[in-house]
Amino acid sequence: MSRIREAYDAIGDTRLAVREGLVRTARVVTAATAIMIAVFLSVMLGADLGVKQLGLGLAVAVFVDATIVRLILLPATMELVGRFNWWLPSWLDRALPRVRLDEPEPTTGPTLEWPAAAERQPAMMLNGRRRGHNPLTPTTPAGGKLRVARLV
Cα torsion angle, 135, 138, 144, 149, sign:
positive
The Cβ-side half-sphere exposure at 139, using a 13 Å CA radius, reads: 12
Give per-residue pLDDT as tens, 49-66: 999 999 999 999 999 999
Q: Is the pLDDT of residue 42 over 90?
A: yes
The pLDDT, as a whole number, for residue 101 is: 66
What torsion do the CA atoms of 107, 1, 91, 147 make, to the nearest 10 degrees?
Answer: -20
Please, what is the average pLDDT of the chain? 77
User: 89-121 pLDDT, tens per residue?
Assistant: 889 888 888 776 665 555 555 555 555 544 544
